[in-house]
């Protein structure tokens, strides 16, 4: 090489550390790679032990096929794998791992020990590697299978070690990774021990439902419906959450492709399209398994196999859409013989969790009940004295057999009803971030109600079709925002019975880190050990809402935005949630006594055109537009 040459071959130890950066991001990455190796080895039991969030020790033991001495020596070498022979094998990957990068990458940044034995061997083999350098190879006593211990992760890469988070944070990521693989392989026995405490002891499950019950507790799956659909060589199965089961992020969406926890843009798009009526910013919770021939999937996209590509993306998209549509259309009663309880969107939990600001009354959303009628109809949101109205006329038949109906005077005022003037807008709500929008009308006349529950309103410049539920939600939001105290002064509402809430590992870590801030906001939450919390009180405007969903999303927002900004942001979110619970929840036609006060207050709102969640309250058509459409312009 000449003196002026700039291109050099990196030393092997440097190349190994660079490769480790692609595969080993944090202790949870080590757990992922080692668990997947155990699954490929045919294990029926996998035991994971971590200490100090995985910084000091990660141990993964399995009862799989084990290795002989020669294989044990080759396994930590780069590009050493038992899962590929030729380049053609890349077109049909059927195993969890195949690159031959995981073990050498892990061994290059830790004190690595491998103990393994095949069932037919009398003695096992122990291989010890420190920072990529072989230290010892010896015979050892070992049970059939393989045990790998990773100590002092990143001890020789201080820059990487400095970027690790706290022990509790890293442990939460480890637990989340364990959880994903426990869901992906319900037939395997698995255990997780953190700092000497048993966290999970999972027996082999007969079904995915049984494994999910073991992980999340009895009753969690009541809000889910089973998925089962086949289209050609593609099978889609699992469990889909009803529209009441939502989160503000995608952490609740677990997608598995041929048993591998991964996803693809086409799958995420199909999930979004299958839940069109969720409130803005909400994401469904589901456990979705796709099975298709290995040659139809390209898993060699990302070093950690986090994302995959499909040969026939259109077929996959159609299969996911059809599977979710069938499951949600069948509703809770469509289980595989296991009935789930009825879904009642008018309950407080139908908000889809804290922060959900859209009423659950989408007409074509699966799982929603029929419109209310008769004596079961909801009471008017604005109490007014009963009017002196004649009872509705019954159906009559004319002599030639044509059935006619007289209009109900309660929902269809006569054309002679005068226009109603709207009072001037009230003062701006406290901390309102926007100037008032122009009023949609200064006077109006209620023409009547459509059969689907929408109100038809004539204004001085055209007409509007109004969604009463959305309009009432906007009205209630601005009422509460004006009257509500600052979050720091928010009164608490004690629960009749304290609730014990179990959260996912990452959510539990978030809640634990912001407990003092939650107390300032009106929460009374106590750490109950593990991932559980005892909730004794909630902010007054959220009384009756789902404590679990509130904790998850409040803690997430506070962590993302910081305590000060998060508290101010959630002041409005608290009020939006209360407004959603207080709004009209019915699709029946409302009568004039109920509609007119709502329409008057809507016109006086600061932002009358949408709900706090962004859903429109009305569709307006001007007289000028009507003239243009009829050719009269």
Q: Are residues 116 and 159 in the same domain?
A: yes
Residue 39 binned pLDDT confidence (cut-offs 50, 70, 90): very high
Answer yes or no: do 289 and 436 share one domain: no
State yes or no: pLDDT of 143 exceeds 60: yes
| Confidence band, pLDDT 50/70/90 cuts, at residue 573 | low
451: in domain: yes
Please tell me the distance from the alpha carbon of residue 444 to that of residue 457, in angstroms, as a whole number: 7
Mean pLDDT over all residues of the chain? 76
What integer is the mean pLDDT of 401-427?
Answer: 49
Flag whether 420 is in a domain.
yes
Q: Are residues 228 and 160 in the same domain?
A: no
Residue 202 has pLDDT above 60, yes or no: yes
The percent of residues in the chain predicted with pLDDT above 70, rounded, is 68
- Report yes or no on 134 lying in a domain: yes
Q: Is residue 372 part of a domain?
A: no
Residue 514: predicted pLDDT: 80
pLDDT value, residue 373: 38
Whole-angstrom distance, CA of residue 231 vs CA of residue 162: 49
Between these two residues, 14 and 204, which has the higher pLDDT value? 204
* Per-residue pLDDT at 3 exceeds 50: yes
Question: Quick one: pLDDT at residue 404?
Answer: 36
Q: What is the DSSP string of 85-111?
A: SSGGGGGG--SS--SS-HHHHHHHTSE
Does residue 387 form part of some domain? no
Could you tell me the pLDDT band of residue 566, with boundaries at 50, 70 and 90? Answer: low
- pLDDT of 484 reads 53
Query: Do the beta carbons of residue 437 and residue 609 sit within 8 Å?
Result: yes
Query: Secondary structure of 498-521 in the HEC alphabet?
Result: EEEEECCHHHHHHHHHCHHHHHHC
CA distance linking residue 266 with residue 318, whole number of Å: 10
* In a domain? residue 514: yes
Compare 274 and 302 and report the one with higher pLDDT: 274
- Average pLDDT of the residues in 1-26: 68
What is the rounded end-to-end Cα distance, in angstroms, of the chain? 83
Residue 87 has pLDDT above 90, yes or no: no
Range of the domain at 150: 12-203
Using the 3D structure, point to which of 172, 203, 234 is the last residue of a domain.
203
Exposure string for 250-263, b = 16+ CB within 10 A, e = fewer: eebbbbbbbbbbbb
Among 323, 343, 363, where does a domain finish?
343
CATH number at residue 83: 3.30.565.10
Residues 195 and 242 in one domain: no
Total domains present in the chain: 3
Instruction: List, for residues 469-507, the tens digit of each pLDDT value.
Output: 888 888 877 776 665 555 455 567 788 888 888 888 878
Residue 562's pLDDT band (boundaries 50, 70, 90)?
A: low
Domain end call among 311, 343, 375: 343
Q: What is the pLDDT of residue 237?
A: 97
Check residue 266 and give its pLDDT.
92
The CATH number linked to 294 is 3.30.230.10
Cβ atoms of residues 222 and 209 within 8 Å? no
Among 317, 310, 306, which Cα is nearest to 296's? 310
**CB proximity list for 343: less than 8 A, separation 6 or greater:** 223, 242, 244, 331, 332, 367, 368
Q: Is residue 354 in some structural domain?
A: no
The more confidently predicted of residues 383 and 512 is 512
Q: Are residues 18 and 64 in the same domain?
A: yes
Residue 110 has pLDDT above 90, yes or no: yes
Query: 231 and 143: one domain?
Result: no
Could you tell me if 106 and 47 lie in one domain? yes
99 shares a domain with 244: no
Same domain, 264 and 189: no
Q: Are residues 472 and 603 in the same domain?
A: yes
279 and 198 fall within a common domain: no
Structure tokens that stand for 538 in this block:
């909630």
Instruction: Compute the average pLDDT of residues 84-112.
Output: 69
Do residues 245 and 169 share a domain? no
């Amino acid at each position: 090489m000449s003196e002026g040459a700039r291109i050099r071959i990196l030393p092997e130890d440097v190349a190994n550390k660079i490769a480790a950066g692609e595969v080993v991001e944090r202790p949870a990455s080590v757990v992922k790679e080692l668990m997947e190796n155990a699954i490929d080895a045919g294990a029926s039991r996998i035991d994971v032990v971590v200490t100090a969030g995985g910084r000091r020790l990660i141990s993964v033991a399995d009862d799989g096929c084990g290795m002989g001495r020669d294989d044990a020596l080759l396994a930590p070498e780069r590009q050493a794998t038992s899962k590929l022979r030729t380049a053609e094998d890349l077109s049909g990957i059927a195993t969890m791992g195949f690159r031959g990068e995981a073990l050498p990458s892990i061994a290059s940044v830790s004190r690595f020990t491998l103990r393994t034995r095949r069932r037919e061997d009398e003695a096992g083999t122990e291989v010890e590697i420190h920072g990529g350098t072989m230290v010892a190879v010896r015979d050892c006593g070992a049970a059939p299978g393989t045990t790998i211990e990773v100590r002092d992760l990143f001890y020789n890469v201080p820059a990487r070690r400095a970027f690790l988070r706290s022990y509790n944070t890293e442990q939460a990521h480890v637990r989340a990774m364990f959880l994903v693989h426990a869901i992906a392989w319900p037939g395997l026995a698995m255990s997780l021990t953190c700092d000497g405490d048993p966290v999970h002891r999972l027996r082999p499950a007969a079904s995915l439902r049984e494994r999910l019950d073991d992980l999340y507790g009895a009753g969690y799956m009541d809000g889910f419906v089973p998925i089962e659909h086949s289209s050609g060589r593609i099978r889609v199965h699992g469990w889909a959450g009803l529209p009441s089961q939502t989160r503000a992020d995608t952490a609740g969406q677990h997608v598995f492709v041929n048993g591998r926890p991964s996803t693809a843009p086409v799958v995420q798009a199909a999930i979004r399209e299958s839940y069109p009526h969720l409130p803005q910013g909400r994401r469904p919770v589901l456990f979705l398994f796709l099975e298709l021939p290995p040659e139809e999937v390209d898993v060699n996209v990302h070093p950690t196999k986090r994302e995959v590509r499909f040969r026939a993306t259109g077929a996959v998209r159609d299969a996911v859409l059809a599977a979710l549509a069938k499951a949600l259309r069948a509703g809770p009663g469509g289980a595989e013989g296991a009935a789930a309880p009825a879904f009642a969107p008018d309950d407080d939990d139908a908000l889809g969790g804290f922060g959900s600001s859209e009423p659950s009354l989408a007409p074509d959303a699966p799982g929603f009940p029929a419109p209310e009628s008769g004596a079961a109809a909801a009471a008017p949101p604005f109490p007014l004295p009963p009017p002196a109205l004649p009872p509705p006329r019954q159906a009559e038949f004319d002599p030639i057999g044509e059935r006619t109906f007289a209009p109900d005077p309660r929902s269809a005022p006569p054309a002679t009803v005068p226009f109603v003037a709207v009072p001037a807008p009230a003062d701006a709500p406290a901390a309102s971030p926007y100037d008032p929008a122009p009023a949609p009308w200064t006077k109006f006349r209620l023409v009547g109600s459509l059969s689907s529950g929408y109100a038809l309103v004539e204004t001085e410049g055209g007409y509007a079709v109004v969604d009463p539920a959305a309009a009432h939600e906007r009205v209630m939001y601005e009422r509460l925002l004006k009257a509500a105290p600052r979050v720091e002064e928010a009164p608490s509402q004690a629960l009749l019975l304290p609730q014990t809430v179990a959260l996912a590992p990452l959510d539990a870590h978030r809640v634990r880190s912001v407990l003092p801030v939650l107390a300032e906001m009106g929460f009374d939450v106590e750490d109950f050990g593990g991932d559980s919390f005892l909730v004794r009180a909630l902010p007054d405007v959220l009384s009756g809402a789902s404590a679990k969903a509130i904790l998850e999303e409040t803690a997430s927002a506070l962590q993302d935005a910081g305590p000060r900004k998060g508290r101010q942001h959630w002041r409005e979110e608290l009020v939006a949630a209360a407004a959603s619970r207080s709004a009209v929840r019915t699709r029946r036609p409302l009568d004039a006594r109920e509609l007119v006060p709502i329409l008057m207050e809507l016109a006086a709102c600061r932002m009358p055109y949408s709900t706090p969640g962004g859903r429109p309250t009305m569709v307006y058509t001007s007289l000028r537009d009507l003239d243009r459409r009829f050719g009269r312009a």
